[in-house]
Amino acid sequence: MRVGVMIASLCATGALADGALPSDVPLAATVLSQVAPKNEAIAKASQQVDDGDFEDAVKTLEKGLEQPDLTDDQLVELYRLLGLSHLYLGNEDKARDAFEKLLQARPDYELPKSAPPKIRTLYARIKEDIRKRRVRPVTLTVQPAPDVDGGQAVDVQARIEDMALGAKAKLFYRRAGAQAFSSVDFVREKGSKVDYAATIPGFEVPAEEAGWDMEYYVEVADAAQRRLAGKGDAFNPLTFRVAARSGAAPPVAESRPWYKNPWIWVGIGAGAAAITTGVVLIATSQQSATLPIQIQIEGMP
C-alpha cells in the first residue's frame, strides 16, 4: 500500500518518467534520512519517509514544526524531510516552500547523489528559482531602548516577522567612542514566533560619576551573513543614555592642554589674518610719491 502510494506520487510528479526509481523501492534510507536527529518528530518522520509513508510523514513533520525551542539544525532537518515528502507526493508548491526555508538556512545544501535524478532535477529547479527570487524579506521592528541607570542589564525588544530559517538576529553595542562593537544574540520569547529579546549584561553598563551614551544597532543576517534586516548600523547606531551614579559630584571639567583648545587656534588664525591684512593695507596704502631733486647750477664747479 505504502509503496503503491509512493509510486503513484512519483508518477504524478514525473519522477519516474525515465524509470530512475527502482520498482522494489523502499527508497533507500541512506538517501532520505541523512541526519540522525534526536528530536522525536524527526526520528518518526524519518522512519516514515524511509517506509514511503509520505502523507504520515508530512503530518508528523508539520506537528514537529510547531514545537517550541527547535534548534536550527532541527528545523533544517524537519524542512528537508518535509520537502522530500511533498516532492514524492507530487506537491511541488509545498515542496518548494519547504526547500525555500531549508535553503535560507543551508544555501549550499545538496541532495545526496543517490537521490533519483528526477527529484534532483526538480530540486535543482526549485533551488534556482529561490536563488533568483532571493530570500523573503524579513520585517524587523525594534523597541528603542530607554535611558537607564547604570549597573543593570538592559533588555532590547524586537519583533521579527518572516524570520528566515537559519537567520539570526544580533544586538551590537558599544560605549560611545569605543572602537569595536560587542554583540549578543536575540532569543525568541517563549510562546511567540515573532517576539525576540536581547540583553546587554549589567557589567557592560556600569554606573559612573558622569552619564555616558551606549550605541547599539540590531541586525538580522542569514546563514551566509547577508543582512536581511536591521535597525541602525555601525555607522549610524541608535543610542541610549546611562545615567550618572546618583549622588555623584558633577563632573569636573577635564583639563586639556592649551593647544587642544580650538579657540586658541581660532585666535591665532584671526591674528595671522589681521597681521596679513595690515601688511597688505600698509603696502597698498602708500599711494603717494616722493621725488628727491638735486639742483646744480650749470657752469659752477
Partner 1 sequence: MTRALLALGTLAFLGCGPAAAPGDGFDIQLVVSRGLLDQISAFQVALVTQGASLDCVAVQRACIKDQVDSARFVPVKDGAGMTHQALRFPISLTTGTPNTQDVSLRDLPLGRDYALVVEAVSKDSPPRLAGSSCSYVKELTAGTNMTVFARVEMLATPASCDPTLP
Site for partner 1 in 19-78 (CB under 8 A): none
Question: How far apart are the C-alpha atoms of 187 and 163, rounded to whole Å?
Answer: 12
Q: Is 24 helix (H, G, I), strand (E, B) or coil?
A: coil
Q: How far is CA 24 from the centre of its chain?
A: 47
Site for partner 1 in 270-299 (CB under 8 A): 286-299
Site for partner 1 in 117-146 (CB under 8 A): none
Amino acid letter for position 192 = S
Q: What is the H or E stretch that residue 222 is in?
A: none
Interaction mask 235-274, partner 1, x per CB under 8 A: ----------------------------------------
- Residue number with CB closer to partner 1 (36 or 300): 300
Minimum distance of partner 1 from residue 285's CB (angstroms): 9
Total chain residues near partner 1 (CB under 8 A): 16
188 backbone dihedrals φ, ψ, rounded to 5°: -70, 135
Question: How far apart are the C-alpha atoms of 189 and 80, rounded to whole Å?
Answer: 25
Give the C-alpha distances (Å, rounded to integers) separating 201 from 141, 243, 254: 22, 16, 29
Minimum distance of partner 1 from residue 283's CB (angstroms): 9
Minimum distance of partner 1 from residue 275's CB (angstroms): 21
- Residue number with CB closer to partner 1 (262 or 301): 301
Question: How far apart are the C-alpha atoms of 195 and 186, rounded to whole Å?
Answer: 9
Minimum distance of partner 1 from residue 236's CB (angstroms): 59
- Residue number with CB closer to partner 1 (236 or 285): 285
Question: How far apart are the C-alpha atoms of 157 and 52, rounded to whole Å?
Answer: 44
Interface with partner 1 (CB under 8 A): 286-301
